[in-house]
């Protein structure tokens, strides 16, 4: 069972997923969906790291965090690479959330959201946390 600190990181990731839920169909906000998807994945990975009784690294790159944990589920690695690029690029106003071909499409946003949900749901299973206990 997850310790209190790991559970708090899961709650933080859940907050990002809930935010996405309310904006997922808005084409104007696809770059915001990308940002929150990256954040949800990052926070769930950090929950796993804490669960494993390790110190949380001060990094945001998903690929780096994934390399620090053992995952027993599959995920779209290409989407993780894209989210890493978007997160870094989002630090510059002219590039906020842009892919090489421009702003993420609604299809891109939904894919980001789906991948974030895979990480969250599987992290809850790994940490033995009931998803319904997270939103209380």
Residue 8: name the closest of 60, 61, 46, 56 by CA: 46
Please state, in angstroms and rounded to a whole number, the distance separating the CA atoms of residues 53 and 86: 29
SS (H, E, C) 44-68: HHHHHHHHCCCCCCCCCCHHHHHCC
Going residue by residue through the chain, which has 136 residues, state the pLDDT in tens, using 9 for 90 and above. 678 899 999 999 999 999 999 999 999 999 899 999 999 999 999 999 999 988 988 988 999 999 999 999 999 999 999 998 876 554 555 555 566 667 889 999 999 999 999 999 999 999 999 877 887 6
Q: What is the CATH number of the domain that holds 9?
A: 1.20.120.330
CA 50, CA 36: separation in Å to the nearest integer? 21
Q: How far apart are CA 122 and CA 73, in angstroms?
A: 7
3-state SS of the chain: helix, strand, coil percent to 5?
65, 0, 30
* Dist CA 116 CA 64 (whole Å): 16
Domain count, the chain: 1
Domain that holds residue 77: 4-134
Contacts of 89 by beta carbon, 8 Å cutoff, 6+ apart: 95, 96, 97, 98
What pTM did the predictor assign?
Answer: 0.90
For residue 18, give both structure tokens: 């809930």
Residue 11 CA to its chain's centroid (Å)? 12
| Token reading at 29 | 């906000």
């Amino acid at each position: 069972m997850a310790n209190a600190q790991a559970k708090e990181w899961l709650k933080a990731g859940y907050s990002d997923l809930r935010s996405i839920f309310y904006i997922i169909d808005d084409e104007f906000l696809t770059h915001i969906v990308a940002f929150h998807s990256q954040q949800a994945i990052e926070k769930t990975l950090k929950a796993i790291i804490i669960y494993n009784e390790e110190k949380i690294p001060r990094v945001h790159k998903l690929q780096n965090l994934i390399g620090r944990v053992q995952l027993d589920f599959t995920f779209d690695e290409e989407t993780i690479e894209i989210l890493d690029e978007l997160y870094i690029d989002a630090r510059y106003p002219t590039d906020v959330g842009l892919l090489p071909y421009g702003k993420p499409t609604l299809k891109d946003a939904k894919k980001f959201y789906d991948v974030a949900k895979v990480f969250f749901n599987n992290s809850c299973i790994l940490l033995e946390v009931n998803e319904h206990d997270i939103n209380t």
